[in-house]
Structure 1
Amino acid sequence: MGFRPDPRKADNLEKGRDTVWANAGATQVHLSEGKPQPQVLDGFVTLKYPSSSSLRALVSRAEENGVEAQYSDADPDHPIVTLFCPYGNRFVAEVGLGDPRGYQAEAEKALCNGISELTLHTKSSADLPSIAKFYTSVFGMTPDVTPEAVSVPFGPHQKLTFIQGPLLNSEYEDGKGPHISLYLNDLSSAWDNASALGLVYVNPRFKRKAATYEEAVDQCMFRVLDIVDPDTNRKIMRLEHEIRSKYKRDGLTMYKSYPFDS
């Protein structure tokens, strides 16, 4: 895929076990060891690459590694590569820029410019308006809503999109399953909104835990496990969110993993 290993997890990569991080531009993927089995996302990940030639190089690398890759130039101005990892995860690669505001460690050397969109399946299109309400009520975001999809902007260069689709891999044990991370300028408001709906979650897998607001401020993060209808608190789907603060407790010092320049 042209990502680069994060040096902070170099020991795990060398040992061949535990979690590794892969960087591209301002984005990062955390890859668990896959016990008892690999995670497969109900949806797909959209990636940006510098040029059409880099897309063809991606196809060549995939074929060399026995990975299914389909190159389409049906629209000559918008070639697309679709890849399927050996476990069934789907990636869509297209030409485009990454987020210019900053980089993860070593990310400027990556062949991929970064993740631009994460598309997830939901059981019914009837749930899409409630999903939009969730992101507005809890995080203060302004989703784009159509009858077919909800797209939630995660900054100027990324979005999270929900569409109706098959749910084949949505049941996970506590502490497992895919999760997403996002940075907020206002951790306090998000905590208040999530706490009021009873959504604060502590994942037993990780050392950093935040069950109270004070712990969230100290840890610069807290977690939410479920997307709910904020009007009825009806659970719509499970998607763990790691909500990170841009700043440490002093409100001035940036959190150590914050990837942007300002």
Structure 2
Amino acid sequence: MDGLTRIECPWNRTAENLGNSVELQHVNLRVPDQLKATAFYISALGLTRDPYLLTGIDNMWANVGVSQFHLPTGEAQVLRGVVGLVVPDRAQLLHRLQTARRWLDGTKYGFTEAADHVDVTCPWGNRIRVHSPDAERFGRIVLGIPYVAFDVAPGTLPGIVRFYQQIVGAPAAIEGGEARVLVANGQYLIFRETDASIPPYDGHHIQLAFVDFGGVHAKLAERGLISQEDSQHQYRFIDIVDPEDGRLLFQVEHEIRSTTHPLFMRKLVNRNAAITNTLYATGHEALNWAMAPE
């Protein structure tokens, strides 16, 4: 129409698109020993046990910014890949990791330092790569799970990208030789091809929340991919398949919640792991998982 003024936009608006998946809430790994799990996840990594839910001795929820580890008691599960963490202070992390040796010697526990991360192995063999805060790489967080990276067979990345694009409705692309799937603000599932033997899937899972909860369910059900119907607000699937030919590409259980789920975006308590009974300052017990304004 005549007389309309076009305003030039100085920003890339598509950079803010999240897609259908809006929450990476937890990584679930069974652990045989809650005492050793406490020594590792709480004392060594500096995370926070949820003070409100699952406070018994048969399960533990460990808070990591807006996400969690869920650690029910059972035969050990090992994620086929690496969980990425961001923690506030590398020097304090290394001190805690060294101290934890006294509780975890004789297990698979260990850690190695690199220039920009610390690789840590849990008592049962789970690999965790710990980074320092870096707004350019991980967004404006000082504590969180920026990615979960899976080891997959050669030749599967294009089909994995198609699965998350076409069935899940999440932004996905192959970048730098790996498939990256945006599943929440600043949080990714990453798939990396390897020639190494991939262990059989043992039942560990991740949890996501979908805006189009019913639409994705219909696409999965049409292909026979729903593995469990949990409740009105939750279902699960395990198989990642190529939408073009139905070929099985990878397996990891996805616990899917709706945005009306009672636990969606639940606010989590995070402690400041630098505060102890011998190094204490009033009012500094809690940790804000996000960076302060610039």
TM-score, normalized by the shorter chain, greater than 0.5: yes
TM-score by length of 2: 0.66
1:258 aligns with 2:265: yes
Once residues 219 and 95 of structure 2 are traced to their aligned partners in structure 1, the CA distance between those partners, rounded to angstroms, is 45
> Cα offset for 1:260?
6.0
State the partner residue of 2:246: 233
State whether structure 2 residue 219 is matched by structure 1 residue 193. Answer: yes
Residue 21 and residue 132 in structure 1: after superposition, are their counterparts in 2 closer, same or farther (change >3 A)?
same
Distance 1:148 1:191, change over 3 A: same
Percent of residue pairs identical? 27
Deviation at 1:64, TM superposition (A): 4.2
- The yes-or-no answer on 1:150 pairing with 2:179 is yes
Q: Which runs of 4+ in 1 moved over 6 A?
A: 97-101
Match for 1:148: what amino acid? G
The one-letter amino acid of 2:121's match is: F
Residue in 2 that maps onto 1:104: none
Q: Counterparts in 2 of 1:1-262, with a 5 A limit?
A: 1-7=45-51, 8-11=53-56, 13=57, 17=58, 19-35=59-75, 38-65=76-103, 66=105, 67-73=109-115, 79-96=116-133, 113-124=143-154, 126-146=155-175, 148-165=177-194, 166-172=196-202, 177-202=203-228, 209-210=229-230, 218=232, 220-248=233-261, 255-259=262-266
1:147–1:197: structure 2 CA closer, same or farther, 3 Å change rule?
A: farther
Report the 3-state secondary structure (helix = DSSP H, G, I; strand = E; otherwise coil) of the residue aligned with 1:256. Answer: coil
Alpha-carbon distance between aligned partners in 1 of 2:68 and 2:60, rounded to the nearest angstrom: 10
- What is the deviation of 1:72? 2.2
Q: Over residues 176-212 of structure 1, what are the superposed CA-to-partner deviations in whole Å (9 max), with x where a residue is unaligned? A: x11110011221211122112211111xxxxxx34xx
Give structure 1 stretches of 5+ with no counterpart. 74-78, 102-111, 203-208, 249-254
Q: Per-residue displacement from partner, 1:72-119 (whole Å, max 9, x unpaired)?
A: 23xxxxx31111112211111011278879xxxxxxxxxx81211111
How far the C-alpha of 1:151 sits from its partner, in A, is: 0.7
| Matches of 1:153 and 1:257, distance apart in 2 | 18
Count residues with an aligned counterpart.
Answer: 215
In the aligned structure 1, how far is the partner of 2:62 from the partner of 2:197? 26
Question: Cα RMSD over matched residues?
Answer: 2.4
SS of the equivalent of 1:154 reads strand
Q: Output the CA distance in 2 between the equivalents of 1:167 and 1:31.
A: 26
Cα offsets for 1:50-85 (capped at 9, x unmatched): 133333334334444433111223xxxxx3111111
Give, in whole Å, the separation in 2 of the partners of 1:42 and 1:200.
22
Distance in structure 1 (CA, Å) of the matches to 2:99 and 2:216: 42
**8 Å Cα contact 2:110-2:120 kept in structure 1:** yes
Superposition TM-score, scaled by structure 1 size: 0.74
Deviations 1:165-184 (A, max 9, x none): 33443244xxxx11110011
Deviation at 1:47, TM superposition (A): 0.3
Q: Residue 258 of structure 2 contacts residue 264 of structure 2 at CA under 8 Å; is this kept in 1?
A: no
* Alignment-derived partner of residue 107 in structure 1: none
- Cα separation, partners in 2 of 1:100 and 1:195, compared to 1, 3 Å: farther
- In structure 2, relative to structure 1, the CA distance for the partners of 1:96 and 1:5 (3 Å cut) is same
Higher relative contact order (CA 8 A, sep 6+): 2
| Structure 2 CA distance for aligned equivalents of residues 52 and 256 of structure 1 | 31
When Rg is computed on C-alpha atoms for both structures, the one with the higher figure is 2
C-alpha distance 64-114 of structure 1, shift in aligned 2 (>3 A): farther
